[in-house]
Chain A
Amino acid sequence: MRKWLLLLGILLAGCSYGTTSAPHRPPSDVMGPETRGPVLYARDCAWCHGSNGEGTARGPNLNGDLDGGAYTHFMLSTGRMPLSSPTARAQRRTAVLTPTQIDAVIEHVKTFGGTGPDIPKVEPTTGHLGTGSELYLSNCAACHSATGTGGALTSRRAAPHLTNPDITPVQMAEAMLVGPGCRNNDSTCGFGSGAMPNFDFSETEVNSITAYVSYLQHGGDHGGFAIGRIGPVAEGAVGWIIGLGSILLIGRWVGTRMGDNE
């Protein structure tokens, strides 16, 4: 019985990897935790980040002063890493690695000597919404928009929308700690440079901000359809097309006499 399950696990793992990248896939989930990390790293990360996290032309180093548990967990759990090609945009998608694999890779990346923060503990429920909204408006709204819809940066990158319900409070806290993105100004950034700044908030402040971002994710619209929360652009479109448009249709109908075919 155990053997069958094992085989099934191998098969499933093989299938899921077959869709993501290279064909040679070791059955990583059945390895011990000590070997799993290095093997996965060698397979999925080393060709871009170097076998000891020293970085290559295809990806930045992983041993800097922001690198560590938080950054790696953020990158892996949001599905940004492993990147499929050096010029692809690192963006949120369903995580490629399983939670166990992610933990293993994090442990391995930590051995490279990065001095960045570890995975933070977050308790949004203990946060204060009012403080959170003030901190959010003064620190985050410039890029992510007051309503959380996100916005363009000056580079090709954009600050993603935070209303996405998939973003977990831990990922929010990690983003604030490390400031994801790419600060380098060369090919290591692949898609182009541009990053979120990293912040130095206290634990209660982090809890309050995550509480407010969670609020933006799950509610806050009180006036009907939110029309993307992007403000006057969408409002203007609705005003013209739905508002004046329907009035004009009505006007056309009222203004035309029966049998009047002009």
Chain B
Amino acid sequence: MIKRLLVALDNRLNAASFTRRTLTKVFPDHWSFMLGEIALYAFLMLVLTGVFLTFFFDASQATTTYNGTYQPLNGVEVSQAFRSVLDISFDVRAGLVMRQAHHWAALIFVAAIIVHLCRIFFTGAFRKPRDINWVVGVTLLLLAIFNGFTGYSLPDDLLSGIGLRVLYSIALSIPLVGTWLAYLVFGGEFPAEGIISRLYSIHIMIIPLTIGAILTIHLALVWHQKHAQFKGPGRTESNVVGSRLWPTYAVKSVGLFFMVAAVIMALGGLFQINPVWFFGPFDPAQVTSPAQPDWYMGWMEGALRLFPPWEIGAFDHVIVPAPFFPAVLLPGITFAFLYAWPFLEAWLTGDHDAHNLLDRPRDRPIRTSLGVATLGFYIMLLVAGSNDLIAKWLLVNVGAVTNVLRVLLFVVPVFAGLLTFSLLRGLVASGARRLTDMPASAVWQSWKRDN
């Protein structure tokens, strides 16, 4: 009976050969090729936990008197949004675990994208023909960061309100269109009524659907262009050596999903994240410190803290307010470079060929060193986002910490880049398989040989 049905389907859809082709498709094996999958599964977990949260979240900013399980806020005027988050945390069964797992999944999602991006970068997988998929991937990163920020702002607690206020002043700082843009996004002067419900539809519909669509393109391109592989015996520019989708790869991948899900749920159950009940409802007159954004916005926060308060003015008017340079220009340049890198590199090296075999990081010492230096720069910005915590821990002046970080912001990347370059040269010169097998003198000798 089932067989008859299948045959009937096959006659019409030619499904058997499609399925056979699909199931026997070969993927190369290397653990680092799982990084993108981890991001994918973190996204899946975001959707699953997020759907649960939408059942209980209320995006209204109408005020109400809180009267629930959480004693210390009893009788306090809060928005419906904040109330519903307290309810999720204290009254909905498994609500707190889901809320926390959702937040942890977001942190891991962006982190996994970054590590995946590094893998692609350092192995040259972004080169033609996959340059187009690199562009798609960078778009996904941008959307992921943006959706993280909108989610962070939804609970309408003190910390998220502080974040929104920063965003508002950043929008205002854009020359010419700033005021208009800020009003367009916020629907009025900060703190505007209704911003939460706007962010909510962006957060749960517009961006996730866009991510879903672009993700499909991303995966379809991987499928169609076939996965790049490392050099090795029997591996050429025109074949793929590895495991078949069915059963090997599929089983591994499903296993990976369950493990990602397990880690995220375990974090949700074991580690407290964003305890909004401490922060209380947003009140424009209140502040709390330390106040940091989630890590994927931390580098922008760091840039805001490190950048001197320069403004461009004329005729007693501020034309370009201070936040513009660190919070609009820097991210703009960052993503412009990210998007352009494959084409920039092809132009710089004159290598316009298609590549299906990957580089090892040591094969391209200049690219690798540049990448490490760039990472160093952004890590220093991220560190600068917590300059007040550093000052507190070291018992020094915040201003002193800021000045030291301003210097380190440029010293660390240069140093990290040069160090990487020397190590890679030593590695190549000594022929060692790994960094740990390389004799320390190899670095020195590789430099001597040049002179």
Residues on A facing B (Cβ under 8 Å): 89, 128-134, 137-138, 141-143, 145-156, 158, 212, 215-216, 220-227, 229-233, 235-236, 238-240, 242-244, 246-248, 250-257, 260, 262
Chain B residues with CB under 8 A of A215: 72
Is the beta-carbon distance between B283 and A138 smaller than 8 angstroms? yes
Chain A residues with CB under 8 A of B112: 244, 247
- Contact of B182 with A by CB under 8 A: no
Chain B residues with CB under 8 A of A143: 289
Residues of chain B from 265 to 284 with CB closer than 8 A to chain A in the complex? 267, 269-275, 277-280, 283
Helix, strand, loop or mixed for chain A's interface? helix
Looking at B129-137, B197-205, B383-391, the stretch in contact with chain A turns out to be B383-391
Is the beta-carbon distance between B289 and A145 smaller than 8 angstroms? yes
Chain A residue at minimal CB-CB distance from B252: A254
CA distance A30 to B32 in the complex (A): 74
Residues of chain B from 367 to 416 with CB closer than 8 A to chain A in the complex? 385-386, 388-389, 391-392, 395-399
Is the beta-carbon distance between A255 and B33 smaller than 8 angstroms? yes
B269, chain A: closest CB distance, angstroms: 6
- Contact of B264 with A by CB under 8 A: yes
Is the beta-carbon distance between B399 and A154 smaller than 8 angstroms? yes
* 15 residue pairs bridging A and B, Cβ less than 8 Å apart: A130-B76, A133-B72, A133-B280, A143-B289, A146-B159, A147-B275, A147-B279, A220-B278, A229-B272, A232-B292, A235-B103, A239-B111, A240-B295, A250-B256, A254-B259
Is the beta-carbon distance between A230 and B298 smaller than 8 angstroms? no
Chain B residues with CB under 8 A of A262: 30, 230, 232
Residues on B facing A (Cβ under 8 Å): 29-35, 37-38, 71-76, 89-90, 96, 100, 103-104, 107-108, 111-112, 115, 158-159, 230, 232, 243, 252, 255-256, 259-260, 263-264, 267, 269-275, 277-280, 283, 285-295, 298, 385-386, 388-389, 391-392, 395-399
Chain B residues with CB under 8 A of A253: 31
Is the beta-carbon distance between B295 and A222 smaller than 8 angstroms? no
Is the beta-carbon distance between A222 and B96 smaller than 8 angstroms? yes
Chain B residue at minimal CB-CB distance from A158: B392
Is the beta-carbon distance between A243 and B29 smaller than 8 angstroms? no
B243, chain A: closest CB distance, angstroms: 8
Chain B residues with CB under 8 A of A230: 290, 389
Given contacts A133-B72, A158-B395, A255-B32, contact A244 B280 (CB under 8 A): no
Is the beta-carbon distance between A156 and B395 smaller than 8 angstroms? yes
Is the beta-carbon distance between B273 and A130 smaller than 8 angstroms? no
CA distance A158 to B290 in the complex (A): 11
A162, chain B: closest CB distance, angstroms: 12
Is the beta-carbon distance between A247 and B263 smaller than 8 angstroms? yes
Is the beta-carbon distance between B270 and A254 smaller than 8 angstroms? no
Chain A residues with CB under 8 A of B31: 251-256
Is the beta-carbon distance between B272 and A141 smaller than 8 angstroms? no
Is the beta-carbon distance between A221 and B389 smaller than 8 angstroms? no
CA distance A150 to B115 in the complex (A): 33
CA distance A225 to B391 in the complex (A): 24
Chain B residues with CB under 8 A of A132: 72
Chain B residue at minimal CB-CB distance from A237: B295
Is the beta-carbon distance between B272 and A243 smaller than 8 angstroms? no
For the complex with contacts A137-B280, A158-B395, A255-B32, 7 further pairs of A-B residues with Cβ separation under 8 Å are A129-B72, A133-B76, A147-B279, A152-B289, A244-B108, A248-B35, A256-B29
Chain B residues with CB under 8 A of A145: 288-290
Chain A residue at minimal CB-CB distance from B163: A232
B191, chain A: closest CB distance, angstroms: 16
CA distance A207 to B237 in the complex (A): 75
- A-B pairs with the 4 shortest C-beta distances? A255-B31, A236-B295, A239-B107, A223-B272
Is the beta-carbon distance between B280 and A247 smaller than 8 angstroms? no
Is the beta-carbon distance between A222 and B272 smaller than 8 angstroms? yes
Chain A residue at minimal CB-CB distance from B295: A236
A260, chain B: closest CB distance, angstroms: 7
Chain A residue at minimal CB-CB distance from B264: A243
Is the beta-carbon distance between A247 and B287 smaller than 8 angstroms? no
Chain A residues with CB under 8 A of B259: 247, 250-251, 254
CA distance A24 to B325 in the complex (A): 62
Given contacts A130-B73, A145-B289, A233-B292, contact A225 B272 (CB under 8 A): yes
Contact among A148, A229, A247 with B260 in the assembled complex (CB-CB below 8 Å): A247
Given contacts A222-B96, A225-B270, contact A156 B72 (CB under 8 A): no
Contact among A150, A151, A231, A239 with B104 in the assembled complex (CB-CB below 8 Å): A239
Is the beta-carbon distance between B89 and A222 smaller than 8 angstroms? yes
Is the beta-carbon distance between A156 and B396 smaller than 8 angstroms? yes
CA distance A152 to B285 in the complex (A): 20
Chain A residues with CB under 8 A of B108: 239, 243-244, 247
A134, chain B: closest CB distance, angstroms: 6
CA distance A246 to B261 in the complex (A): 12
